Structure 1
């Protein structure tokens, strides 16, 4: 009988690729990770790892084990869902990862509703961008992720293992202090503030600038949309800002009406095997309520700021 915890270590190694990364993710020491894998090899009776430069790669036998481990873990998710559905009282803990603007807007409103409607539910939330939140979901470090996608720039994931639920399709508006500017090509000579390199938001924005015929001058880099808004309002940079930035105040910078493709999609993502879990369904319902309320507040705050 194979030890499930050791199988999970092997599975983590497949996705994280280094023993140090597995150790950090699973709160082991690197030597403990090596020991677990050595014991698993003895259980299996075949080599599981091969050297690949400074890294290791899985043998064909290890790949077989990982595939079956995924199946076992999905079955355990389904078992948890069935047990939770059989109980009369909704209780338990759901671990959520959410990107920044969702943490500011959708998450607090959802927590307020849950506190009143379902006091037995505990939600633990970590701020994380999609490029770390989605891998954490697959690794079972969290149960629920709020992530964002942009046209043509989505995070690569193992699609069959995840279930996506759209909460908002939100305009991304150009924020400029120069009132003489009316279109993206006119911003070729302006400094920009953008999200970090390799994020979908950054890739999407740069691709739009390239399509408009210029290479953007990225003078400022931050994952914080409030920083973007502040720099734009002070005239230090131009930026694409999501409408959620204005959830609690009127804009203090001019916003250009976006083209139809200038939108981001905000999603709730869960493991497919957990999609029907009562806790997941309840938190998703709360998020949908929060999305509707936040959209209404944003519309009021935008007022006449768009030109």
Structure 2
């Protein structure tokens, strides 16, 4: 029988890419990880790694082993969930990753609800954008991720991850005070009237940036992006002080009245989907269920429905 610990190291290598990354994530020496994988190769009887430059990659046989390891780990997570469900007291640690606006507008309220209902549950929250958080979820660094999906840019649906909708968050064009949209007729014309303005957007490689640039290009211009940050509060400040035009979601106001002039976006482009993501084996764990319920209540409280 193959050693499960060594199989997990092989799986970690697939998800993290390098022996050094596996060692850093698990607080091992790289030489120890390499030695354990060499022992696994001896157990299996076939090569599991092959050199590619200064790195290594998994062989076809290693990919087969990782697929079976994923199934075993999912089953073990289901067993952990069943054990937790059999207890009347929810304990342990729940690890959450959230992007900024959800972390500001929803997570504190949800944490208060969890603290009141499950005082012995330890919740650890990390601010992380979905582009990094979802791979980390697959690598089992987190138990639940708050993620977003922009219109026209659907996320890939990975079979080992389970999504649950949380809310639809409206998106708006945020106008600097110096902007003169004139007699622009309709959302596309208003957007086009800002073609010569500086813009603030999220960095290259993010879903938000891809959506925003596509929106501008569809309006007939290439945006002059002078400010790049994932901090949407900074986006807000830059627009307020007439440094840039931008796009802001409803959650950035955290229930407060907007402090900027906002305009609607073209039909079908003005709402992002906010949802939670967990691994399938973790989806019925009482801590995950409690967290999802608390987040839904936080949404309801924010909208005045609870």
Task: Work out whether the TM-score is over 0.5.
Answer: yes
Residues 269, 56 of structure 1: alpha-carbon distance in 2 compared, 3 angstrom cutoff: same
Q: Unpaired segments of 5 or more residues in structure 2?
A: 185-189
Distance 1:67 1:185 in 2: 49
Deviation for aligned residue 1:98: 0.6
Contact 2:264 2:270 in 1 (8 A): no
Deviates more, 1:83-92 or 1:192-201: 83-92
Alignment of 1:290 onto 2:298: yes
Distance 1:50 1:152 in 2: 39
Deviation for aligned residue 1:165: 0.8
Which 4+ runs in 1 deviate beyond 3 A? 154-157
**What's 1:30 paired with?**
30
Contact 1:172 1:258 in 2 (8 A): yes
> Aligned with 2:303: secondary structure?
helix
Deviation for aligned residue 1:149: 0.9
- How many residues are treated as equivalent by the alignment? 296
Alignment of 1:278 onto 2:286: yes
1:99-110 counterparts in 2 under 5 A?
99-110=99-110
**What's 1:152 paired with?**
152
Deviation for aligned residue 1:179: 5.2
**What's 1:174 paired with?**
173
Deviation for aligned residue 1:15: 2.1
Distance 2:54 2:218 in 1: 40
Deviation for aligned residue 1:40: 1.1
Contact 1:171 1:258 in 2 (8 A): no
Distance 1:58 1:256 in 2: 50
Residues 24, 156 of structure 1: alpha-carbon distance in 2 compared, 3 angstrom cutoff: farther
Alignment of 1:64 onto 2:64: yes
> Aligned with 1:124: secondary structure?
strand
> Aligned with 2:112: secondary structure?
helix
Contact 1:131 1:155 in 2 (8 A): no
Distance 2:152 2:8 in 1: 33
Distance 1:207 1:64 in 2: 39
> Aligned with 2:269: secondary structure?
coil
Deviations 1:68-104 (A, max 9, x none): 1000000001101111111222222211111111111
Distance 1:203 1:31 in 2: 40
**What's 2:236 paired with?**
229
Deviations 1:199-231 (A, max 9, x none): 000111111111111111110000100000000
**What's 2:270 paired with?**
262
Distance 1:104 1:253 in 2: 19
TM-score by length of 1: 0.92
Alignment of 1:244 onto 2:251: yes
Deviation for aligned residue 1:30: 2.2
Q: Which has the higher contact order (CA 8 A, sep 6+)?
A: 2
> Aligned with 1:103: secondary structure?
helix
**What's 1:116 paired with?**
116
**What's 2:187 paired with?**
none
